[in-house]
Amino acid sequence: MSAVAAVAADPSVRSPLPVLGRDVAVPLVTGGEVTYAALDQAASAPALQRVWDDVAAYAPYYGSVHRGAGYLSQLSTDLFENARRTVAEFLDCRADDQLVFTRSTTDSLNLLAAALPDGCEVFVFETEHHAALLPWQRAGRVTFLDAPDSPAQAVETLERALAARDPHGPALVCVTGASNVTGELWPVRELAAAAHAHGARIVLDAAQLAPHRAVSVRALDVDWVAFSGHKLYAPFGSGVLAGRADWLRDAEPYLAGGGASRTVTRRADGGVDVRWHETAARHEAGSPNVIGAYAIASACKALTEAGFDALAAREEALVRAVREGLADVPEVRFLSLFGDDAPRVGVLSFVVDGWNSSHFAAALSAEYGIGVRDGLFCAHPLVRRLLGGDTGGTGECGAPEAGALNAIRVSVGVGTPEEHVARFVRAVRELVRDGARWSYRTVDGRCVPDTSGRP
């Protein structure tokens, strides 16, 4: 029995958490319709049905948060603060940690970058998503570390860099929990130990980790953790930064405005004096996204109740089905830093010999109803390293350019049906063997079906 057939026949691999969009039909360029296979969940995951139901049940009761005496305002304020507590429990935060609701992981890490103390030096691997790679240059000195070949080398590289720094100044390490390109798990606990041994702090980018594995701030011993609701099956515009309160409390508010301020008074010289909150509200100016926060809390509860051990086992079976289903297709090459057998979440990137990746992804969508991601995945230095070069371009659609600088990413989640994985494997094999059935052209940098005439 093939790996795909085994997954389809195993009841334990069936999705335990239904998601929205599972029955959406999309047109095929070759005619007819098919149920959409959403296999780009590393970019944005569909909302859990439970999250949608919870949000819909609350929506009629929406009111202003922290700003009204009315019943709906009080109810919404309680809901917002209870959501904060629920997410803190989900992350196993320390008692004195602060949890700030933001817009996204990118927003969270930019907030922390704005809160860095003077003279802080930041250490970050070149393998990071741009959200974790780029914010620090505005705030202080940054040391970019070369991509490691193994988890052990990652720890050794960080230790060498930290040992060479000024031991008296503040320092921060930023690291992902799971790569958004390869899905590989990083040695977060070991990196945290190395950081703390050299007097540095560490922030965990858990955008790809939190939807797939339990994240414990205490067990991993990280100082901060950041993640996004839209990857955690709660795509309602909220994110989270949680961790040590001192740097956040000492920093200027991320945004100035109502909610962040405690009192504002006029001075005799005509100016104003402001006393800012010292709680999470300091960095939550403006009317908060209570629906987004509530959605994240709902997702946290659903994932916890489903059990991450069971979710991870199911996900590993789906990943195994993809890898084993394509193992005898020599044209397909999976990308990896730590090796093919490295532990990973449900994210795989690959290239296909003789194909431009944008063309291949377009054919998967137009001819099979399968949504994947192509390109550099907002991790340009890492993908360039994995592809072995820097051509500076992606090539023209339809041109079999081995040197084109892009790849294809397939990613699964808690709501991915096994049939979608089976269809993906079948489609890749057919495209490699028979080629595309339709003609494609480049429009505004994207490869799209040519609908101007016959294929």
CA 360 to chain CA centroid, nearest Å: 24
Identify whether the C-beta of residue 207 lies closer than 8 Å to the C-beta of residue 131: yes
- Given the residues 174, 378, 397, 447, the one annotated as active site: 378
The tokens of 341 are what? Answer: 């057998």
The tokens of 244 are what? Answer: 């040590």
Identify whether the C-beta of residue 37 lies closer than 8 Å to the C-beta of residue 413: no
Spatial distance between the Cα atoms of 261 and 338, rounded to a whole number of angstroms: 47
Spatial distance between the Cα atoms of 171 and 308, rounded to a whole number of angstroms: 33
Collapsed DSSP state (helix, strand, coil) of residue 157: helix
Contact partners, residue 326, CB within 8 Å, separation at least 6: 332, 350, 425, 428, 429
Go through the chain and tell me how many residues it has.
455
Contact partners, residue 53, CB within 8 Å, separation at least 6: none
Q: Is 378 a known active-site residue?
A: yes
C-alpha distances out from residue 294 to 57, 111, 308, 342, 355, Å: 11, 21, 21, 35, 43
How would you classify the pairing of strands 261-266 and 272-276? Answer: antiparallel
Locate all alpha helices (DSSP H) within 273-417, ordered by sequence: 290-306, 308-325, 357-368, 380-387
Spatial distance between the Cα atoms of 128 and 308, rounded to a whole number of angstroms: 24
Which amino acid would we find at residue 313? A
Q: Beta-carbon neighbour count of residue 306 at 10 Å?
A: 16
Tell me how many helices (H) and strands (E) the chain has: 14, 19
How would you classify the pairing of strands 239-243 and 224-228? Answer: antiparallel
Which amino acid would we find at residue 30? T
- Identify the burial level of 284 via C-beta atoms within 10 angstroms of its C-beta, where 0-12 means exposed, 13-18 middle and 19 or more buried: buried
Identify whether the C-beta of residue 238 lies closer than 8 Å to the C-beta of residue 87: no
Catalytic residue positions, numbered: 378
